[in-house]
């Protein structure tokens, strides 16, 4: 990755989160990320990802890209437009638990998910891939079919930004009922309606007690031969449980309050959080689903690199 302090500062989620326009955030993140790729051992990776696939025994040699072979000593086959164009669906959890933010200079899980989704959409649009969007909690809030035009990308950014701002206002004012989580039901809705094979990218914190419903819905996508990438978004406090003083903990979705002695609760809390993550890791691994856990302090360029690395292995 690029090592300049300017690049690292700009891609820091907390600083990026202070920018106002989501389209500018996505463009700067992706262009900085691609610049970093060309300065790293992954030089040329983004081009190969967009326009080539690795040579396999039996492929016709007339489609071999000799220029890539000469430059990198690697064998890649040129793909035609109908091969490279992809239909992707970005699924963003906007339930109330996604509003949690423990670090004053950081970002909420929702803001992190929105900015990462926008960056992925921008990256795909550069490759002429069609990108769609579904935002959900216990029901569907918005659903855009995949398209590859610039106007559609702007519409997608607007939907993401509106959802992020609405959620922030809801959190600050507290004048709306919390949004609970029903990931499985919402995924099943989409899985039943997407006919053409494509890519499904889920961004969620997985604060859903019906783990087996979620697992079944993810498997439904695989049954329909979609490629599935899952990002579990966690706040650092959820992973580390840094609390040391007696506190009242507030469930953001149910409103329930509980007086907690952190020195007694920390071990059990971490155990349950780890169990949930491990459940999804096992399920995804067993079903050919890419799983990645991201903390909201993870730089966006690193998140995009992990995404591309894992997609490259599957292709």
Q: Are residues 136 and 189 in the same domain?
A: yes
Number of structural domains in the chain: 2
Q: Are residues 66 and 166 in the same domain?
A: no
Do residue 201 and residue 136 come from a single domain?
yes
pLDDT winner (highest mean) among 64-73, 96-105, 256-265, 289-298: 289-298
pLDDT value at position 242?
Answer: 75
Q: What is the CATH number of the domain that holds 223?
A: 3.40.50.410
Give the end of a domain, one of 84, 109, 141: 84
Do 258 and 119 belong together in one domain?
Answer: yes
Do 155 and 209 reside in the same domain of the chain? yes
pLDDT for the residue 145: 94
For the chain, give percent helix, strand, coil, nearest 5.
50, 20, 30
Is the domain of 21 the same as that of 50? no
CA–CA dist 75, 84 (Å, integer): 17
Shared-domain flag, residues 63 and 211: no
Residues 162 and 62 in one domain: no
Q: Residue 225 and residue 191: Cα distance in Å, rounded?
A: 11
CA pair distance 286, 311, nearest whole angstrom: 17
Q: Do 149 and 52 fall within a single domain?
A: no
Q: Are residues 125 and 104 in the same domain?
A: yes
Q: How far apart are CA 31 and CA 297, in angstroms?
A: 20
140 closest CA partner among 198, 190, 208, 87 = 190
Tens digits of residue pLDDT in 136-191 = 999 999 999 999 999 999 999 999 988 878 766 655 555 567 788 899 999 999 99
pLDDT, tens digit, 9 for 90 and up, residues 96-142: 999 999 888 889 999 999 999 999 999 888 888 899 999 999 999 99
pTM attached to this predicted model: 0.78
Do 56 and 154 sit in the same domain of this protein? no
Q: Which domain holds residue 66?
A: 44-84
What are the pLDDT digits (tens) for 219-268?
999 999 999 999 999 999 988 877 777 766 766 666 677 777 777 777 88
Domain identity same for 103 and 242? yes
């Amino acid at each position: 990755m690029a090592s300049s302090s300017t690049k690292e500062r700009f891609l820091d989620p907390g600083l990026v989160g202070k920018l106002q326009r989501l389209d500018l955030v996505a463009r700067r993140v992706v262009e900085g990320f691609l610049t970093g790729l060309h300065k790293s051992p992954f030089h040329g990776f983004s081009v190969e990802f967009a326009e080539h696939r690795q040579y396999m025994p039996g492929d016709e040699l007339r489609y071999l890209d000799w220029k890539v072979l000469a430059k990198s000593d690697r064998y890649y086959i040129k793909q035609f437009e109908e091969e490279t164009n992809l239909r992707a669906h970005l699924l963003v959890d906007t339930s109330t638990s996604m509003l949690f933010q423990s670090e004053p200079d950081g970002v909420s899980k929702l803001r992190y998910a929105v900015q990462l989704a926008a960056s992925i959409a921008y990256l795909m649009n550069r490759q002429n891939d069609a990108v769609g969007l579904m935002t959900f909690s216990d029901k569907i809030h918005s659903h855009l079919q995949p398209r590859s035009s610039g106007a559609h990308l702007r519409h997608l950014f607007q939907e993401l930004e509106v959802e992020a701002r609405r959620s922030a206002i809801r959190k600050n004012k507290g004048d709306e009922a919390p949004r609970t989580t029903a990931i499985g039901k919402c995924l099943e809705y989409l899985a039943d309606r997407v006919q053409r094979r494509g890519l499904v990218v889920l961004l969620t914190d997985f604060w859903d007690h019906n783990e087996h419903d979620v697992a079944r819905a993810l498997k439904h996508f695989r049954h329909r031969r979609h490629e599935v990438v899952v990002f579990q978004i966690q706040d650092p406090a959820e992973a580390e449980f840094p609390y040391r003083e007696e506190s009242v903990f507030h469930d953001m979705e149910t409103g329930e309050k509980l007086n907690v002695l952190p020195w007694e609760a920390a071990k059990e809390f971490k155990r349950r959080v780890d169990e949930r993550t491990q459940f999804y890791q096992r399920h995804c691994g067993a079903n050919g689903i890419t799983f990645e856990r991201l903390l909201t302090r993870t730089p966006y360029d690193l998140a995009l690199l992990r995404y591309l690395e894992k997609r490259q292995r599957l292709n």
